[in-house]
């Protein structure tokens, strides 16, 4: 699914990465614990989170996550927007809760494939 489709499905607002909306992602990860993101995310995902601090962007950068969606209508600070722009990330916000945002993406066809299996 292209990020431009995610913007449509979630009625999202784009804060950074407007020129990268043709990026293709294979799955979504909804998490507020960045340790979970580091433990379970594999590749080509969009991160949905309600956590708004620089650590989210640092974790995303470390895990090569190029698209982040802040849920529950949260608005990123200008500092977070600048960090995202400097890192070449796409930064979105949606009014939907984490549960509804993930559900809407699943319903629109964004299924698994980017999560590591736990043995």
pLDDT tens digits for 30-58?
A: 998 898 888 877 778 999 999 999 999 99
pLDDT (0 to 100) of residue 16? 98
Residue 68's DSSP bridge partners are: 47, 91
Burial (CB count within 10 angstroms: exposed 0-12, middle 13-18, buried 19+), residue 26: middle
- Average pLDDT of every residue of the chain: 91
The percentage of residues in the chain with a pLDDT greater than 70, rounded to a whole number, is: 93
pTM score: 0.90
Q: Quick one: pLDDT at residue 36? A: 82
Question: Is the domain 3-107 a CATH 3.40.1390.20 member?
Answer: yes
In the chain, domain spans:
3-107
């Amino acid at each position: 699914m292209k990020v431009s489709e995610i913007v449509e499905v979630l009625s999202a607002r784009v804060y950074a990465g407007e020129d990268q909306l043709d990026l293709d992602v294979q799955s979504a990860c909804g998490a507020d614990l960045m340790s979970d993101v580091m433990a379970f995310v594999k590749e080509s995902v969009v991160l949905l989170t309600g956590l708004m601090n620089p650590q989210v962007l640092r974790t995303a950068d470390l895990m090569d996550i190029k698209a982040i969606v802040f849920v529950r209508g949260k608005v990123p600070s200008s500092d977070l927007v600048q960090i995202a722009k400097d890192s070449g990330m796409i930064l979105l916000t949606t009014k939907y809760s984490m549960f509804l945002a993930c559900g809407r993406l699943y319903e629109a066809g964004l299924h698994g494939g980017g999560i590591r299996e736990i043995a």
